[in-house]
Amino acid sequence: MMNNKKILLSGNEAIARGAIQAGCGFYAGYPITPQNELIGYMSNHLRDSGGVFIQAESELAAINMVYGAAASGARAMTSSSSPGISLMQEGISYIAGSALPAVIVNIMRGGPGLGNIAPAQSDYFQATRGGGHGDYRLIVLAPDSVQEAYDLTREAFYLSDKYRVPAMILGDGVLGQMMEPVELSVKNAKMGDKSGWCLSGCQGRQPHVVKSFFLREGELEKFNLKLQKVYRRIEEKEARCEEMFLAGAEIILVAYGTMARIAKSVIMRLRNEGKKIGLIRPVSLWPFPREAFRAAGRNTEYLVLEMSYGQMLEDVRLAVAGRRKIEFLGRSGGGILSEGEIIDKIRSLIRKPGGRK
Amino acid sequence: MHKVFSVPDPLRKTPTHYCPGCGHGIAHRLVAEVIQDLGIRGKTIAVAPVGCAVVAYDYWKFDCSEAPHGRALAVATAIKRMQPEKIVFTYQGDGDLAAIGTNETIHAANRGENLSVVFINNAIYGMTGGQLAPTTLLGQKTSTSAAGRDKKLHGYPLKISEMLALLPGVCYLERVSLHNPGEVLKAKSAIRRAFQNQLEGLGFSLVEVLSPCPTYWGLSPREALDWIRDVMQKEFPLGRIK
């Protein structure tokens, strides 16, 4: 069928194409591995759709250009990898504080510091807790396939516009680099009406000001309460996750992104042996899909798997609230958990006498 | 009776928060007068700095954006690229433009962004309490150089306008001053020129304005103007740089 035409893309290219399909009108970025295909694609193709591409002098400049483009009412995006995203935190805080929509892509690599260029998931705290200064949140979406990277990028623009909250696509070096067939969409992501606040010159209306500075007594608190109301609404409406084999599961694996793909292979192998293993894969990391953790049976325990030393683990603990046992397995800094390592851990949990109450 | 002096339309009729004798009020007014003269209020977008003039948008009556400290020219670059038909300018102090934002300044200028910049040089950090600025003169006392700026400890006053003159993307640079009415009129002409250049699509224009800060210079308003005339303009000579 003509509509189902698939093409082979890397995760980085899929995000770039998803953004352009979503009507991204502005991209600024600074080269950093492992997301260079993304900036490369944007430099070659964004102009064709009438957009503006700028290779910025730094990540600081890139995120602030995104601020300016978003203030102009455009769909604006930047992408980087861990150290570059750290540099952008000031700008992201200002974008959140000015209630501007924007999409930030982080194709994570090993840290802290310059770390290395191996895939990692160790920026989870930075992404889901805000990252910069102040009480703010990002909508954080974590694809586990190239197709989903394409689809969620479009979704990120839509959600960011809808709530005027910056959104982040959180992937890792594996997702960015690997190639998979992608079904391109002809769907548009509905654009929010920005005419009531964007900067376009005050001809025929009162001047607009885009700002995050609220010096008069009580003003900032009022603004923060407004933000909090938006965040609560997002938590109610926008949490999403993939669930597999939860009914009757004795062990539920919890993993996102690349780690979830490995977890899925493990599940298929162990279910063939008759083991009752399920999976919760958070797709939105903020809002965290807490509801998915309510349905577990009395004897279920969770095994959280991450390419970090236990960051999403804290959200699982908050969601489970002490009602079930939680185990953790993680590697980061170059290593990725293998199926074998995970299976060994699961077998040890199953064998453990009185391990599950 | 014929009215010869009034508040220009792009300026709000509201008292400012600036200290007595501060130059910002005059500079704000000059910008507003130029925008009025050119008839561009409806298509002007300003980017305000972080510093004493952060709330410039409370005094101007046209669209304004804030920018993080030093990043005004990155923000302005994107606004102008998205809306080339609009008139976009930044208004920045010496700390904003020539210390924390040096990188953004140099690269926006080097790309030849079609922008206008009003650069307020008062040789000090006003908003945070009178600390050493990149443009502080040698020997000038500040709250972080109590014994005066020492070249061995703090380096030299940064002449960023002269530095920018080397860049082919820059079409116009002029240093002006607010220390007497004649100079104020020259400052207005320079700001008008910077906006006119943008209207004609000529590239990056910057006007450096030597502006009094009596509070943190420890001088009376009158003495502060004399200090620009007698001391500051010797380090920062007035006139066309490019």
Residue A30 sits in the same domain as residue A137: yes
pLDDT of residue A352: 66
Calculate the alpha carbon distances from B115 to A326, B53, B168 in Å.
57, 19, 14
Domain CATH number, residue B131: 3.40.50.970
| Whether residues A51 and A129 fall in one domain | yes
Confidence band for A3, pLDDT divided at 50, 70 and 90: low
- A95 with A203, same domain: the answer is yes
Task: At A260, give phi and psi (nearest 5°).
Answer: -70, -30
- Write down the pLDDT at residue A45: 97
Are residues A141 and A216 both part of a single domain? yes
Considering the domain boundaries, does residue A356 fall inside one? no
Mean pLDDT within B129-144: 97
Judge whether A144 and A281 are in contact, CB under 8 Å: yes
In angstroms, rounded to a whole number, what is the distance separating the alpha carbons of residues B106 and B223?
34
Asked if A42 and A34 count as a contact pair (C-beta separation under 8 A), the reply is: no
Is A255 found in the same domain as A207? Answer: no
Q: Are B128 and B122 contacting, i.e. CB atoms less than 8 angstroms apart?
A: no
Q: What is the ipTM of this complex?
A: 0.97
The CATH number of residue A228's host domain is: 3.40.50.970
Q: Are residues A183 and A259 in the same domain?
A: no
Q: Is residue B5 part of a domain?
A: no
CA dist., res. A171 & res. A165, Å (int): 19
Give the integer Cα–Cα distance in Å for A139 and A166: 7
DSSP string, B5-17: ----TTB-SS---
Judging contacts by C-beta atoms under 8 Å, the chain B residues touching residue A54 are: 77-78, 81
Of A211, A237, A263, which marks where a domain is finished? A237
| Domain boundaries, position B227 | 24-240
Please check whether residues A199 and A308 belong to one and the same domain.
no
* Total tally of structural domains belonging to chain A: 2
> Which of A26, A202, A213 is facing B63, going by the closest CB pair?
A202
Are the beta carbons of B75 and A213 separated by less than 8 Å? no
| CB contact A309 to B (< 8 Å) | no
Give chain B's end-to-end CA distance (angstroms, integer).
Answer: 43
Mutation target vs B (from A63, A64, A205; most B CBs, 10 A cutoff) = A64
Q: Is the pLDDT of residue A2 over 70?
A: no
**Which residues have a Cβ under 8 Å from the Cβ of A110 and sit 6 or more positions away?**
A82, A116, A117, A118, A119, A120, A122, A332, A333, A334
Percent of chain B scoring above 70 in pLDDT: 100
Comparing CB atoms, the residue among A66, A98, A208 nearest residue B63 is A208
CA distance A200 to chain B (A): 7
Question: Cβ of B78 and A76 within 8 Å?
Answer: yes
Last residue of a domain, one of A210, A237, A264: A237
Task: Give the predicted TM-score (pTM) of the model.
Answer: 0.96
As a whole number of angstroms, the distance between CA A153 and CA A156 comes to 5
**A232 and A265 together in one domain:** no
Distances (CA, A) of B99 to A249, A314, B56, B112, B169: 59, 40, 20, 20, 21
A66: contact with B, CB 8 A cutoff: yes
Q: Between A and B, how many residue pairs show a Cβ–Cβ distance under 8 A?
A: 129
Enumerate chain B positions whose Cβ falls within 8 A of a Cβ in A.
41-45, 47-48, 54-55, 57, 60-68, 71, 74-79, 81-83, 86, 103-104, 106-107
Expressed as residue numbers, the domain containing A170 is 2-237
Distance CA A157, CA A155 (A): 5
Q: Is residue B214 part of a domain?
A: yes
Residue-level pLDDT at A4: 67
Quote the CA–CA distance of B14 and B61 in Å, as a whole number: 11
Q: Is B187 helix (H, G, I), strand (E, B) or coil?
A: helix
Same domain, A143 and A48: yes
